[in-house]
Amino acid sequence: MKNTVEIKKDGVYLNDEKFFLVSGDMHYFRILPEGWDRRLKLMNDFGLTAVTTYVPWNLTEPRPGEYCFQGRADLCRFLEAAQQNGLKVLLRCSPYLCGEWEMGGLPSWLLKDRTLCLRSSDPAYMEAANRYNKVLCDKIRPYLYTNGGPVILVGLENEYGSFGDDKEYLQMLCDFYRNENIDVPFISANGVDNFKYINGTLDDNWNGIDHCAHPDSLPQFEKLRELQPDKPLMSGEAWTGYIQFWGREFLKSTTGKYMAEYFREALRMGVCVNFYMFCGGTNFEFTSGALHSVGNTGYAPLMTSYDYDAPVSEEGTPTGKYFELRDVLDEYLEKEKRPHVNPLDYEAQEIKNIELTESAMLLDSIDNLSEKRVMANRTICMEDLDQDYGYICYKSQIRYTDPRVRYLYIEGLADRATVYIDGEYIGTQMRDAENNSEIKFTVKEGGSELTILVENMGRINYGYEMYDRKGILGAVRVKIQNPDGSFLYNYANNMRYTIDCLPLKSISSLEYKKGIELTDKPCFCKGTFDAKAGIDTFVDMAGWHKGNVWINGFNLGRYWEIGPQRTLYVPGELLKEKDNVIEILELHRPKADLTVSCPDHSLLCEKINNSLLSTDFMLL
């Protein structure tokens, strides 16, 4: 006889027995597989009965029709690990996830079709979504609780009322999953406001609300009860921390007191609480997303760390918040009070003064790194060239006409450009930045080569601006200054480009040479070091400016001197005893002493000069 899952007014029932549901988000794709078990054990120790996770479409189908279920994208391995640790699974496998993840989990190749409407019943979108969902359903079907697996609930969409109102789309998703024998109840999460709740939900599904895990949020459940009187109360996401932006202060709390108050009362009310996040993680490679119109500052990219100030840290250790919330659950379940000590062994290591001794200049290595090269009379964006992440390089030969000074303007820059004339650095511009300095140059007799290296800093992952194409979306033009200080009336655009796609999925083709020049040109710096195999550490990027770090060929993610994140997390699984290789892409100037060190702890909350806080912005 098949197992059953049923949602009744007073709770969740598994095989007709009431199931005590308290869960937390842990994103398997933000953690290397060898680190899953340790975090799942902490969830079990806490007393959670289920783990919640998204499934990122862009990581799972990086190219149309090409699927990846290996490494940190190995969904099946994660579901098996959850079951082995005695946890049920709330699988939020909707096409869109938000999650401060690149483009909210949607694959960037959807943007190549200018007519396609994301997250809608648009046939072009649904054709792609259904193809992906067919493959995904085949993977998850054996893991449904009804088939003996751990998955008791499946997410249909996420915060849809904050994006659109195409109920036909929601119904089409529902019908597709049902036709694929996904026979457990569907859940969704939205804001409790009528506009967001009614536009973002289907009546037959179990709908939760997203909010801060704070006592002030508790009255929202009375509103939810009015909107959904026939089902139990559920927090789709009870936020335990805050998202982390580059250039904004990130403050980790020293207490979870107000969250404990919220949790105690929510349990008393019979709320099925889902903590978001319960375990922090990392936006490895180029997977961090971005938001827009944040505090009227425009485009705001998110940090590499997704620590989130969660009860379990980015590196997988319990925080004070973990123990304060665990005490509440123990009290509710009438367990004895437990000491506030890590129930699992954890070790991190310090590695001092790793010397960087070899280099490869990026602009000299484009032939080795380029995944695609095209010649064009105008700039072309990444998506039109089938590029998802990384960098794109535009080179143009500018004819000499006269010695007048030219001021460069990049229309539609997305997101950050470093600019060179005849191989020499002349300036940087950032999308929506108020403090972009003027970039001026002259053209030498015989002509000059203009090079613009553009970095995708993360596609917007929330709201109507998710159609966030990358590279140069408009014209490159110049203002020409006359000797008397006036400017030539000029609306011409620069033409004739060689465009190279540099996703940097692998940098193994680099040809290094001994020695490193301290110049302003983008440079890969390489060194080797010994370590304790399998033990975590953190790369301290103080003294460096901006770029990415690879350890033994694995891209840890971005660093940026504007903070607040100073260290990059290095999972111990990446390290061996001898001859570990570190490679740093520095876009500006390498650290003067050409070294990096690795402390045994993270540094994510460095003081910055910006008065804005990550806490100033809430999605719902």
The residues that are catalytic are 159, 237
DSSP single-letter state for residue 143: G
Q: Which residues contact 12 (CB under 8 A, 6 or more apart)?
A: 5, 6, 18, 19, 21, 152, 153, 232, 272
What is the β-pairing status of strands 23-25 and 50-54? parallel
Q: What percent of the chain is helix, strand and coil (3-state, nearest 5)?
A: 25, 30, 45
Q: What is the CA radius of gyration of the chain?
A: 25
Alpha-carbon distance of 108 to 61, in angstroms, equals 10
Q: Which amino acid is at 543?
A: G
DSSP state of 337: P
Exposed, middle or buried by CB within 10 Å (0-12, 13-18, 19+), for 364?
Answer: middle
Spatial distance between the Cα atoms of 416 and 431, rounded to a whole number of angstroms: 6
Per the DSSP assignment, residues forming a β-bridge with 237 are 210
Q: What is the spatial distance between Cα 97 and Cα 479, in angstroms, rounded to a whole number?
A: 43
Q: Do 590 and 181 contact (CB within 8 A), yes or no? A: no
Sheet holding 448-455, edge to edge: 372-376, 497-502, 391-398, 448-455, 416-421, 424-430
The DSSP annotation for 480-539 comes to EE-TTS-B---------EEEEEE--S--TT---EE-----SS-EEEEEEE---TT-BEEE
CA distance 42 to 37: 9
Which 3 state secondary structure label does DSSP give 225? Answer: helix
Alpha carbon distance 347, 600 (integer Å): 8
Beta strands in 233-320 (DSSP E): 235-239, 274-276, 281-282, 290-291, 300-301, 305-306
Angstrom distance (rounded) from CA 77 to CA 67? 16
CA 210 – CA 575 distance, rounded (Å): 38
Contact 68, 29 (CB under 8 A): no
Which amino acid, 609? N
> Which 3 state secondary structure label does DSSP give 222?
helix
Q: Are 102 and 459 in contact (CB under 8 A)?
A: yes
Provide CB contacts within 8 A for 226, sequence distance 6+. Answer: none
Residues 6+ apart with CB under 8 A from 493: 378, 475, 476, 477
